[in-house]
Amino acid sequence: MTYETKAELLSLSGQPQQSIRLYRDYIKPTIPSRKEEIARQLDELRIQYEVEKTQQENLQKTPVFTTSFYHHRSVTLLLSLYIIYANKLNAKNRLL
């Protein structure tokens, strides 16, 4: 149960002083931090939107870039798999 819900229930049950105390001690101090958290999240979303928008514009302008990007990823994946395989093979050879 959240502090807000508890404060609301205390208010409705005829205990307004406890509701006010709960609001003053727990809920009110968290409001600025919530606003800061919301502002931070909005900034992150705004940045993510701008990055994705720029990426989409770049992909639309240069379709060759998209093809080379996927080729680069494939080569990187294959190279990584080869390195892993070579390391395992070397480790197996050391055991023999």
pLDDT in tens, 8-25: 666 667 777 776 776 777
d(CA 1, CA 14): 19
d(CA 58, CA 39): 29
What is the average pLDDT score of the chain? 79
Segment 50-68 shows an average pLDDT of: 80
pLDDT in tens, 81-94: 999 999 988 888 88
As a whole number of angstroms, the distance between CA 5 and CA 23 comes to 11
Structure tokens, 81: 């798999």
In the chain, the percentage of residues whose pLDDT exceeds 70 is 73
**What pLDDT, on the 0 to 100 scale, is given for residue 11?**
64
Flag whether the pTM goes above 0.75: no
**CA contacts within 13 A on the Cβ side of 57:** 6
pLDDT given for residue 68 in this prediction: 78
3 token code pair: 């502090």
